[in-house]
């Protein structure tokens, strides 16, 4: 971590601003610390959002190096060839980039906290909201980091830009369970504070200018806060030291919607839109997410497990494109490397593309594709699972079918933003409802139905969440053949190893977690 100390200091001291401005103005203010000189809580909040941008929006770097190349293989939502080293993704340097990005974001948040703490008591009420909203985003990213690595530095991390003391800047590790418990408690407090908050005219003006996620809508922030807490509660409800707490939170939140409003429909999807040049995927309206189509298609082939789960599904034609024969075929992990590679390389005279590609309209050439943080469908599937397991009261089937309907509608709304080709007309609402009812009847159990459809929903829009669900529930049952040619990583990962920079530069603290530093040790919540 400390290899990047001085770049983190520079980032932390950069003060950010946001407004309706040109791409060049916007980019200057976000990337060049010399462009702004005014330290303020509202701008630092936006700085926190923007520091995390690479892993909250579908940037090329995230898609190409991390989501599709590594996580998509672990979740089996992206097709891949059974070649040697297949489970390692693009390599350790890209894993290091994900780690470093979080600590850049955290450092920015520490500066926001410091700035707020040093305001006069008379001024603090105007600026507390910016700290609260930034903390929600930090926790959204912290949960991701915990779910990737387990124990991580947090409580002592990110303070170098404030203290300037390099010697004391090597942070100790916090237990994953401790951090989850902290977030579950803090998010409840944040919801309560936002519920009782009436921002001043000054704060309201700043919010509308600086909050590019929810545009200053505090009810929407409450729904994001509560839905994030609901996700965390379900994550810990089945296994580990927090099961009782997780179940109690699920019961309380799902039983009291007035106190705990949740993301309940697709209009409330928490996302970062690509509606300004600074957030467009590439800036070219006909190119989209280049990483998906890079390397001669090695990132954009269908997973046969996904194809199987999408049998008869109205989402199939907007998630994947048919092959040259008009059929939907994915890379099957049961096939050997030679068979897969031969079919992958098949030339036009021999029949052309054998494997289906990820849809160009919805995904790979859609420059309007947003960064998705929380969806109504996820909340509905959490409700269905909580009711099915007796953690909360409610109709399991109703929640399940609602989740399926919301997922279908969301995918078609994403396709409707297509910048590459004409969108596909969405099915009638009645047809979507009939499909959802049919899916409920088609599975052997409610548990399998909920887990499979939740994994499928996350699919290509929230790949880490898809992998989290596979590890947490063991469903759907996916086949990963052993890679006997790669002794360092012969099997699909259970979590990530700590980056080499962290191991080498924070040695004393790393020693406390070294025994758990393996790709093949399960996280505390994993099945």
Q: Which domains, from first to last, does the chain contain? A: 2-20+28-282+368-516 (1.25.40.390)
Residue from 299, 306, 313, 310 nearest 330 by CA: 306
DSSP conformation class of 369:
P
d(CA 244, CA 367): 44
CA atoms within 13 Å, Cβ hemisphere of 247: 13
Residue 22 pLDDT: 36
Q: If you search the block for the tokens 């279908």, which residue do you land on?
A: 408
CB 453 within 8 A of CB 400: yes
Residue 201 pLDDT: 95
Residue 276 pLDDT: 64
CB 78 within 8 A of CB 463: yes
The dihedrals phi and psi of 69, each to the nearest 5 degrees, come to -80, -25
Residue 145 pLDDT: 98
Buried/exposed code over 318-356 (b: 16+ C-beta within 10 A; e: otherwise): bbbbebeeeebbbbbbebebeebeebbebeeeeeebbbb
d(CA 280, CA 272): 10
DSSP conformation class of 372:
E
d(CA 335, CA 356): 16
d(CA 332, CA 352): 18
Residue 290 pLDDT: 55
Long-range contacts (CB closer than 8 Å, 24 or more residues apart) made by 449-454: 449/400, 450/381, 450/384, 450/385, 450/388, 450/396, 450/400, 450/403, 451/385, 451/475, 451/476, 452/309, 452/476, 453/381, 453/400, 453/403, 453/404, 453/407, 454/378, 454/381, 454/385, 454/403
Residue 296 pLDDT: 61
d(CA 177, CA 180): 5
The H or E element spanning position 194 is helix 176-195
Residue 366 pLDDT: 86
CB 274 within 8 A of CB 281: yes
d(CA 210, CA 222): 17
CB 282 within 8 A of CB 294: no
- Please list the pLDDT of the chain residue by residue as tens digits (527 residues): 444 433 444 444 443 333 333 344 333 433 333 333 456 999 999 999 999 999 999 888 888 889 999 999 999 999 999 999 999 988 889 999 999 999 999 999 999 999 999 999 999 999 999 999 999 999 999 999 999 999 999 999 999 999 998 887 899 999 999 999 999 999 999 999 999 999 999 999 999 999 999 999 999 999 999 999 999 999 999 999 999 999 999 999 999 999 999 999 999 999 999 876 566 555 444 455 655 676 566 778 999 999 999 999 999 999 999 999 999 999 999 999 999 999 999 999 999 999 999 998 999 888 889 999 999 999 999 999 999 999 999 999 999 999 999 999 999 999 999 988 899 999 999 999 999 999 999 999 999 999 999 999 999 999 999 999 999 999 999 999 999 999 999 999 999 999 999 999 999 999 999 999 999 999 999 99
């Amino acid at each position: 971590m400390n290899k990047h100390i001085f770049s983190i200091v520079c980032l932390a001291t950069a003060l950010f601003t946001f407004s309706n401005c040109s791409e060049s103005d916007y980019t200057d203010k976000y990337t060049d610390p010399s462009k702004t000189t005014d330290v303020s809580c509202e701008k630092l909040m936006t700085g926190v959002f923007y520091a995390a941008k690479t892993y909250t929006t579908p940037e090329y770097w995230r898609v190409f190096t991390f989501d599709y190349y590594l996580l998509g293989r672990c979740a089996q939502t992206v097709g891949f060839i059974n070649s040697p080293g297949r489970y390692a993704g693009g390599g350790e340097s890209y894993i290091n980039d994900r780690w470093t990005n979080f600590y850049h974001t955290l450092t920015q948040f520490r500066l926001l906290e410091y700035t707020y703490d040093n305001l006069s008591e008379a001024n603090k009420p105007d600026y507390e909201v910016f700290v609260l909203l930034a903390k929600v985003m930090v926790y959204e990213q912290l949960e991701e980091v915990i779910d990737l690595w387990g124990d991580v530095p947090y409580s002592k991390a990110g303070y170098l830009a404030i203290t300037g003391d390099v010697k004391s800047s090597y942070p100790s590790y916090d237990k994953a369970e401790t951090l989850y418990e902290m977030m579950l408690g803090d998010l409840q407090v944040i919801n309560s504070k936002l519920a009782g908050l009436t921002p001043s005219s000054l704060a309201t003006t700043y919010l509308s200018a600086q909050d590019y996620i929810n545009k200053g809508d505090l009810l929407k922030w409450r729904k994001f806060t509560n839905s994030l807490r609901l996700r965390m509660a379900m994550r810990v409800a089945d296994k580990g030291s927090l099961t009782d707490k997780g179940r109690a939170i699920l019961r309380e939140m799902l039983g009291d919607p007035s106190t705990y409003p949740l993301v309940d429909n697709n209009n409330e999807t928490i996302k970062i839109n690509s509606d300004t040049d600074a957030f467009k995927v590439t800036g070219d309206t006909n190119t989209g997410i280049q990483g998906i189509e890079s390397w001669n298609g090695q990132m954009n082939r269908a997973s046969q497990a996904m194809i199987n789960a999408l049998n008869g599904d109205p989402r199939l034609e907007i998630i994947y494109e048919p092959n040259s024969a008009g059929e939907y075929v994915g890379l099957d992990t049961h096939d050997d490397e030679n068979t897969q590679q031969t079919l992958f390389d098949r030339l036009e005279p021999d029949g052309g593309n054998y494997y289906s590609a990820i849809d160009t309209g919805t995904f790979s050439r859609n420059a309007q594709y947003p960064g998705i943080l929380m969806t109504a469908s996820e909340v509905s599937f959490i409700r269905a699972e909580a009711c099915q397991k007796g953690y909360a009261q409610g109709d399991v089937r109703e929640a399940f079918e609602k989740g399926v309907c919301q997922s279908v509608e969301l995918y078609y709304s994403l396709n409707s933003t297509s910048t590459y080709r004409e969108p596909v007309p969405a099915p009638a609402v009645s047809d979507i409802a009939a499909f959802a009812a049919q899916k409920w009847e088609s599975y052997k159990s409610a548990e399998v139905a909920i887990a499979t459809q939740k994994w499928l929903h996350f699919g290509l829009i929230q790949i880490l969440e898809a992998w989290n669900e596979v590890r947490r529930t063991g469903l759907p049952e996916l086949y990963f053949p052993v890679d006997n040619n790669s002794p360092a990583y012969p099997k699909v990962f259970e979590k990530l190893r700590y980056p080499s920079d962290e191991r080498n530069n924070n040695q004393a603290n790393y020693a406390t977690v070294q025994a758990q530093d393996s790709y093949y040790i399960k996280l505390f919540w994993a099945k």
